[in-house]
Chains A and B, each alone.
Chain A
Amino acid sequence: MEEKKITKVSIVISKGGLDGVYPGLIMANGARMEGIEANLFFTFFGLDAIIKKRMGKIKIATVGNPGMHMPSLLGILPGFSAMATAMMKKTMDKLDIPPVPEFIEMVADAGCKLYACKATVDMFKLKKEDFCPQVDSIINVGAFYDMAAGGHIIFT
């Protein structure tokens, strides 16, 4: 028996840093590539990915990140995070994984809807103008559940 196909996903991006925002972006874009309806909901430090001033400067955390496979002490060296980020970006570019601002544009052009979390926006005292134009609106958690109705929710 063939499994019923997924037709809709709503993905929450809650973490900042490259490793925080990329998985959700790749999953949302991948959903659209399969003809699956997709929504992205950015909350807490995940908001960095859609804040105009920040989206181009997202780095990989080199301190307190066990995935880096190196002592955290090295990670505190000046410029270390920037260097690790540059290396990773180069590799990703070769795989056609775009930098964050371009990725946001691509996933929006692909028909994915982008939303910012109201609670975080209030907490960080942000305004609609602080966000890139691809952001549809600032919504509360209730509106998120409404929007996600009938689909799957993925939290990253």
Chain B
Amino acid sequence: MPQKQYGNAAVDVDAEGFMTNQAQWTREVAVAIAREEGIAELTPAHWKVIEFMQKDFKETGQAPTIRKLNKTGVMGTKELYELFPGGPAKKAAKIAGLKKPEGCV
């Protein structure tokens, strides 16, 4: 299984760089993945999304859709695209240490 080195931490990832072992996730790892994805700094708004995604993933086994983030009042679509430019659902899931979202929306 491929591994990636983020600072002192070595984490297991899939072919596209999504973490495969959630236990290896730390906030430091998240910051490093975010940088790799072109997000220089994780703001409180980023963390709000990341933490909700992790909580929802625990409950459902799936990364939440953008619509769920809207409907639950976590964050609007526009803001999500501003926070995670170039694909919020995928990028936020990656930073949160979750597997790649499977749905089409």
Interface size on B, residues (CB 8 A): 18
With an 8 A cutoff between CB atoms, is A97 at the interface?
yes
With A106-B77, A110-B77 in contact, do A96 and B67 touch (Cβ < 8 Å)?
yes
**Do residues A26 and B86 form an inter-chain contact, with CB atoms below 8 A?**
no
A97: B residues at CB distance < 8 A: 104-105
**Do residues A35 and B105 form an inter-chain contact, with CB atoms below 8 A?**
no
B68: A residues at CB distance < 8 A: 96
**Do residues A33 and B77 form an inter-chain contact, with CB atoms below 8 A?**
no
Kindly identify which residue among A30, A95, A96, A109 contacts B77, using a CB–CB cutoff of 8 Å. A109
With A30-B104, A98-B67, A109-B81 in contact, do A35 and B87 touch (Cβ < 8 Å)?
yes
**Do residues A33 and B87 form an inter-chain contact, with CB atoms below 8 A?**
yes
Give A17-51 as 1s and 0s: 1 = Cβ < 8 Å from B's Cβ atoms. 00000000010011011110000000000000000
With an 8 A cutoff between CB atoms, is B70 at the interface?
yes
B85: A residues at CB distance < 8 A: 35
**Do residues A29 and B105 form an inter-chain contact, with CB atoms below 8 A?**
yes
With an 8 A cutoff between CB atoms, is A75 at the interface?
no
Q: Which residue of A lies closest to B71 (CB)?
A: A96
Q: Which of A65-103 contact B (CB under 8 A)?
A: 95-98
**Do residues A96 and B105 form an inter-chain contact, with CB atoms below 8 A?**
yes
- Per the bound structure, the CA–CA distance linking A29 and B81 in Å amounts to 12
With an 8 A cutoff between CB atoms, is B94 at the interface?
no
Q: Which of B30-80 contact A (CB under 8 A)?
A: 65-68, 70, 76-78
Q: Report 9 cross-chain contacts, Cβ distance below 8 Å, ordered by A residue.
A: A33-B90, A34-B87, A35-B86, A35-B87, A96-B65, A96-B103, A98-B67, A106-B77, A110-B77
Chain A positions within 8 Å of B, measured between CB atoms, are 26, 29-30, 32-35, 95-98, 105-106, 109-111
